């Protein structure tokens, strides 16, 4: 048959071998026009920067696409071991400027836009933040992705594509008001939908056990309500190395069959309602950074992420290896970002045993050799527990598997500690009591080969406190991985002026090897260099002021010579924003008393969101705003002191704040902040820390030396031993400054028309059972703030300290953190791209 022959011999056209997209200025201009005019249908009369920003993003995305494909092919060709970062949160922020930096085209694009009469900065700042996270944990996941791509590690991020991200915060009458963040309303040019890789996720129903001819029992999970998980991929470029990794976010969609059943039964309304239940799963990010008290939807989200991601990895595996899982653990590794995705441990067992017919033991060996768990908090209220009843209803097969895992675990524990019933009770994955609960942290530890904390002190406290029984049982599983931040976003991109000075002085090797910043240290002694450094900091402070003014956030006259004193993070009692406010009130009292000799002007900026249901945190926001109003309008104060609440703190806000910070407030009760990462961003930009010996502050102080860190407060050990006989009233009685501060607060000076408003806040710190022991650290904090002022009075000395802080921030790059994860846990080989 001649036609067949002809078809066979027809050369296959490659549709992926495209001509390279140019990176010359003209190429950007041509492509930009193409998208702006032809795709988006706009012209020069269009007023909104949104479309120009979208067009430019598409131009940049094109340049990532080719490399994305090559990266993918390289991983496949090399059949390399791969890692998966499972996280309920990825706080990515904006993408455009980061993508341009990592592609190395920022300067060229700036010029191209200039030629078109467009200001690049306007396009960059018109991009919405992808706010798919609460705070530290979510942003850490985003920094990790940047470092993995920069280190050319084959890592895929798996998360949820929430329709609504972290709420936007507005302040009305001093109070937080939440507005939904419908960030996808105008589309998202960075994501690619990949319907062809969808998976079905089961909920509800019941299980059946049957025995096959060989006497093996077989478990089936039937009569379930199914939901479709559809992946959306975002490219994650490494820093100027060609690698483009993937962040894959799942969206929940109603399945066809799900609707059909209902339609056939003639119940249209039920069908539509069921569709909603399915599509609700990825509707909204829970805006709580502590606990979510057994909300069913939250458990649905967790299982949806775990099941979709594991099915995805297994589908890829069986596509190549069929049903042979012997080398699966050798080739795959999952990092669980806190316990949130830890149901993955039971789900992997289910998929291997029920679907792929491995024996329980084979599956268990694979599971505990592929899962690794990171803990991010010691706060008891943040430890996840799910009621057994809820799990039995929503995920019946998973609950059976968890019981089975626990039964075997309990056997192991009792043979290690025979007759120790108390130990069994404490370690069990199932907490007994009025209602049985699944302790997700225990499941995570039992099912993983690695358990890590996120700073030295935190890991030590996990080992000696919260998880001490597990540490005694499996000491080899435990390890520390001190957090970091990506220096690309948090220095190179957000502070280009400082970055240029650094590069001009020591070269630009620091961008991918942050330890090189150490070479800056000798320049702290160079008066000329200090002058340049100071000028850059001063300009950054001025642009922060200008930015706030332009956004109508303040009408206040802010003094650019004042100390810019920043505390930006979630509002939480353990982070002690209240201690900061007590200090501000103390300064106000000093001004009112005329105690202003050698006064150092100060501008205190506090920003952060409170969980919508966290009453006390919301009161703290109100207090900050009320105190600000009184102080800022008092003519006696003038520009000696200002207090400002920064509303809607988020990733892009931090990018503006970092360069202009002088002082970084890291003042949590010792032992409560697992690590902190804002502390690292501020340090990297030359802010000096005033802080307690908590989280990574301890390691920051180790790096910069005690002279370059304002230390105060009780240590974790002192906190715990004082707790028993803590007597805040006696402390107040012996401290006149503190007495004055509390007196002013209690007099209603800051709530003249709202009597009693702050009573609960005040009594919380006067309570001998105050878990955060704010009053205990007051004196030492005030004294440390005094040392801050003395240091600031001597601008040469302050600048030296600032340079030394930046120079010693090398340890806090996520490149270092990720290298440690990789060398000690993941063991992935870097994958340089094959020359094409």
Q: Residue 221, SS3?
A: strand
Q: Would you count residue 675 as binding ligand 26W (CB under 6 A)? A: yes
Contact indicator for 659, 540 with CB cutoff of 8 Å = yes
Strand partners, 247: 157, 234
Q: How far apart are CA 92 and CA 652, in angstroms?
A: 10
Is 569 a catalytic site residue? yes
How many residues at the interface with ligand 26W, by CB under 6 A? 23
337 vs 808, beta carbon nearer ligand 26W: 337
Contact indicator for 463, 471 with CB cutoff of 8 Å = yes
Q: Of 122-130, 131-139, 437-445, 822-830, which segment contacts ligand 26W by CB under 6 A?
A: 131-139
Residues 132, 140, 604, 732: which binds ligand 26W (CB under 6 A)?
140
Contact indicator for 671, 719 with CB cutoff of 8 Å = yes
Residues 66, 181, 191, 338: which binds ligand 26W (CB under 6 A)?
338
Contact indicator for 245, 203 with CB cutoff of 8 Å = no
Q: How many CB atoms lie under 10 A from the CB of residue 98? A: 24
Q: Would you count residue 136 as binding ligand 26W (CB under 6 A)? A: yes
- Site track 1-30 with ligand 26W (rule: CB under 6 A), x = hit: ------------------------------
- Report the nearest approach of ligand 26W to the CB of residue 278 (Å): 22
Number of residues that this document lists for the chain = 836
- Report the nearest approach of ligand 26W to the CB of residue 392 (Å): 22
- Site track 437-476 with ligand 26W (rule: CB under 6 A), x = hit: -----------------x----------------------
Residues 246, 282, 342, 483: which binds ligand 26W (CB under 6 A)?
483
Strand intervals (E) in 686-741: 688-691, 710-711
Q: How many CB atoms lie under 10 A from the CB of residue 331? A: 16
- Report the nearest approach of ligand 26W to the CB of residue 677 (Å): 5
Q: Residue 91, SS3?
A: strand
Q: Would you count residue 676 as binding ligand 26W (CB under 6 A)? A: yes
- Report the nearest approach of ligand 26W to the CB of residue 827 (Å): 22
39's tokens = 């795709």
Residues 290, 405, 440, 738: which binds ligand 26W (CB under 6 A)?
290
Is 376 a catalytic site residue? yes
- Report the nearest approach of ligand 26W to the CB of residue 675 (Å): 4
671 vs 695, beta carbon nearer ligand 26W: 695
Q: Would you count residue 571 as binding ligand 26W (CB under 6 A)? A: no
Q: Would you count residue 691 as binding ligand 26W (CB under 6 A)? A: no
Handedness of CA 462, 466, 472, 474 (dihedral sign): negative
Q: Would you count residue 289 as binding ligand 26W (CB under 6 A)? A: yes
The torsion region of residue 661 among left (phi > 0), alpha (psi -120 to 50) and beta comes to beta
Q: Which of 42, 300, 575, 672 is catalytic?
A: 575
Residues 60, 345, 382, 581: which binds ligand 26W (CB under 6 A)?
382
Q: What are the residues whose beta carbons fall under 8 Å from the beta carbon of 461, sequence distance 6 or more?
A: 378, 453, 671, 716
145 vs 313, beta carbon nearer ligand 26W: 145
Residues 129, 233, 292, 469: which binds ligand 26W (CB under 6 A)?
292
In the bound complex, which residue of the shown chain has the CB atom lying closest to ligand 26W? 136
Residues 83, 135, 237, 671: which binds ligand 26W (CB under 6 A)?
135
Q: Would you count residue 677 as binding ligand 26W (CB under 6 A)? A: yes
Q: Which of 94, 202, 569, 619 is catalytic?
A: 569
SS3 sequence of 506-569:
HCCHHHCCHHHHHHHHHHHHCHHHHHHHHHHHHHHHHHHHHHHHHCCCCCCCCCCCCEEEEEEC
Q: Which of 42, 385, 488, 570 is catalytic?
A: 570
Question: What's the farthest any 2 CA atoms get from each other in the chain?
Answer: 104
- Nearest CA to 177 out of 610, 807, 581 is that of 610
Determine the straight-line distance between the first and last CA of the chain, rounded to whole angstroms. 38
- Nearest CA to 224 out of 396, 341, 100 is that of 396
97 vs 134, beta carbon nearer ligand 26W: 134
Q: Which of 681, 692, 799, 817 is catalytic?
A: 681
19's tokens = 């001509």
| DSSP strand pairing (385-387 vs 437-439) | antiparallel
Residues 32, 286, 758, 781: which binds ligand 26W (CB under 6 A)?
286
134's tokens = 């609460």
Q: Would you count residue 608 as binding ligand 26W (CB under 6 A)? A: no
Q: Would you count residue 805 as binding ligand 26W (CB under 6 A)? A: no
Q: Which of 168, 486, 677, 817 is catalytic?
A: 677
Q: How far apart are CA 704 and CA 801, in angstroms?
A: 9
Contact indicator for 569, 615 with CB cutoff of 8 Å = no
- Site track 655-674 with ligand 26W (rule: CB under 6 A), x = hit: ------------------xx
Element (H, E) at 245: strand 244-254
- Report the nearest approach of ligand 26W to the CB of residue 540 (Å): 24
Q: Of 135-143, 304-312, 602-610, 711-719, which segment contacts ligand 26W by CB under 6 A?
A: 135-143
Q: Would you count residue 134 as binding ligand 26W (CB under 6 A)? A: yes
48's tokens = 């909104």
Element (H, E) at 233: strand 225-237
Residue 239, φ and ψ in degrees, nearest 5: -80, 105
Share in percent of the chain as helix, strand, coil (round to 5): 55, 15, 30
Is 210 a catalytic site residue? no
Q: Of 129-137, 182-190, 592-600, 742-750, which segment contacts ligand 26W by CB under 6 A?
A: 129-137
57 vs 437, beta carbon nearer ligand 26W: 437
Q: Of 1-9, 113-121, 286-294, 440-448, which segment contacts ligand 26W by CB under 6 A?
A: 286-294
Q: Of 169-177, 232-240, 248-256, 290-298, which segment contacts ligand 26W by CB under 6 A?
A: 290-298
Q: Of 22-30, 165-173, 205-213, 288-296, which segment contacts ligand 26W by CB under 6 A?
A: 288-296
| DSSP strand pairing (90-93 vs 130-132) | antiparallel
Q: Would you count residue 813 as binding ligand 26W (CB under 6 A)? A: no
22 vs 613, beta carbon nearer ligand 26W: 613
Contact indicator for 447, 408 with CB cutoff of 8 Å = no
| DSSP strand pairing (192-193 vs 225-237) | antiparallel
Annotated catalytic residues are 376, 569-570, 575, 677, 681
Residues at the contact surface with ligand 26W, assessed by CB under 6 A = 134-137, 140, 286, 288-292, 338, 376-377, 382, 454, 483, 673-677, 695
């Amino acid at each position: 048959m001649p036609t067949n022959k002809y078809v066979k011999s027809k050369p296959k056209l490659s549709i992926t071998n495209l001509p390279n997209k140019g990176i010359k200025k003209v190429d950007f201009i041509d492509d930009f026009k193409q998208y702006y005019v032809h795709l988006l249908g706009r012209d020069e009369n269009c007023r909104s920067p949104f479309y120009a920003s979208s067009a430019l993003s598409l131009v940049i995305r094109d340049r990532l696409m080719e490399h994305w494909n090559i990266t993918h092919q390289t991983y496949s060709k090399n059949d390399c071991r791969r890692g998966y970062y499972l996280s309920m949160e990825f706080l990515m922020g904006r993408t455009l400027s980061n993508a341009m930096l990592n592609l190395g085209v920022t300067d060229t694009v700036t010029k191209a836009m200039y030629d078109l009469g467009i200001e690049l900065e306007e396009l960059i700042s018109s991009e919405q933040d992808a706010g798919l996270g609460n705070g530290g944990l979510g942003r850490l996941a985003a920094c990790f992705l940047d470092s993995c791509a920069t280190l050319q590690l084959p890592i895929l991020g798996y998360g949820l594509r929430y329709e609504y991200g972290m709420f936007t915060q507005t302040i009305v009458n001093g109070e937080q008001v939440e507005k939904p963040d419908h960030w996808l309303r105008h589309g998202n040019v960075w994501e690619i939908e990949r319907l062809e890789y969808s998976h079905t996720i089961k909920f509800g129903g019941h299980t059946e056990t049957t025995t096959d001819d060989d006497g093996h029992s077989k478990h089936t999970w039937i009569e379930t309500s199914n939901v479709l998980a559809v992946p959306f991929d975002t490219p994650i470029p490494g820093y100027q190395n060609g690698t483009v990794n993937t962040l894959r976010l799942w969206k929940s969609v109603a399945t066809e069959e799900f609707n059909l059943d209902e339609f056939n039964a003639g119940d249209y309304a039920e069908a539509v309602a069921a569709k909603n239940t399915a599509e609700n799963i990825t509707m909204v990010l829970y805006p709580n950074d502590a606990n979510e008290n057994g909300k069913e939807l939250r458990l649905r989200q967790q299982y949806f992420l775990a099941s979709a991601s594991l099915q995805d990895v297994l589908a890829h595996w069986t596509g190549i290896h069929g049903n042979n899982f012997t080398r699966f653990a050798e080739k795959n590794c999952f990092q669980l970002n806190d316990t949130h995705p830890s149901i993955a441990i039971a789900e992997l067992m289910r998929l291997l045993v029920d679907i792929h017919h491995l024996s329980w033991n084979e599956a268990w060996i694979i599971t505990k050799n592929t899962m690794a768990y990171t803990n991010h908090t010691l706060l008891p209220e943040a430890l996840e527990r799910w009621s057994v009843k809820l799990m039995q209803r929503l995920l019946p097969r998973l609950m059976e598997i968890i019981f089975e895992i626990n039964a075997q675990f309990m056997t192991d524990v009792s043979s290690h500690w025979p007759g120790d019933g108390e130990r069994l009770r404490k370690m069990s994955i199932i907490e007994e009591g009025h209602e049985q609960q699944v302790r997700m942290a225990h499941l995570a530890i039992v099912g993983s080969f690695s358990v890590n904390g996120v700073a030295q002190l935190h890991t030590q406290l996990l080992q000696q406190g919260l998880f001490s029984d597990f540490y005694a049982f499996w000491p080899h599983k435990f390890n520390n991985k001190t957090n970091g931040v990506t220096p690309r976003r948090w220095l190179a991109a957000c502070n280009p002026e400082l970055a240029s000075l650094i590069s001009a002085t020591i070269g630009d090797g620091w961008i991918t090897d942050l330890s090189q910043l150490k070479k800056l240290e000798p320049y702290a002694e160079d008066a000329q260099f200090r002058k340049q450094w100071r000028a850059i900091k001063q300009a950054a402070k001025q642009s922060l002021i200008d930015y706030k003014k332009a956004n109508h956030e303040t009408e206040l006259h802010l003094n650019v010579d004042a100390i810019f004193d920043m505390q930006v993070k979630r509002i939480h009692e353990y982070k002690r924003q209240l201690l900061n406010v007590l200090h501000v009130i103390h300064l106000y009292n000093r001004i009112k008393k005329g105690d202003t000799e050698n006064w150092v002007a100060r501008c205190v900026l506090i920003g952060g969101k409170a969980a919508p249901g966290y009453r006390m945190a919301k009161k703290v926001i109100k207090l900050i705003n009320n105190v600000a109003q009184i102080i800022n309008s008092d003519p006696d104060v003038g520009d000696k002191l200002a207090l400002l609440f920064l509303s809607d703190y988020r990733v892009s806000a931090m990018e503006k704040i970092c360069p202009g910070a002088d002082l970084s407030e890291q003042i949590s009760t010792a032992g409560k902040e697992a690590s902190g990462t804002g502390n690292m961003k501020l340090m990297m930009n030359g802010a000096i820390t005033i802080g307690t010996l908590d989280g990574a502050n301890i390691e920051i102080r180790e790096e910069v030396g005690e002279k370059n860190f304002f230390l105060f407060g009780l240590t974790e050990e002192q906190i715990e031993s004082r707790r028993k006989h803590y007597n805040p009233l006696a402390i107040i009685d012996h401290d006149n400054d503190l007495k004055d501060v509390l007196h002013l607060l209690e007099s209603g000076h800051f709530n003249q028309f709202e009597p009693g408003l702050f009573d609960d806040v005040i009594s919380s710190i006067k309570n001998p059972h105050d878990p955060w022991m704010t009053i205990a650290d007051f004196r030492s904090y005030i004294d440390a703030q005094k040392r801050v002022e003395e240091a600031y009075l001597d601008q040469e000395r302050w600048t030296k300290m600032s340079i030394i802080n930046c120079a010693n921030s090398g340890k806090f790059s996520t490149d270092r953190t990720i290298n440690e994860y990789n060398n000690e846990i993941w063991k992935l080989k870097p994958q340089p791209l094959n020359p094409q």
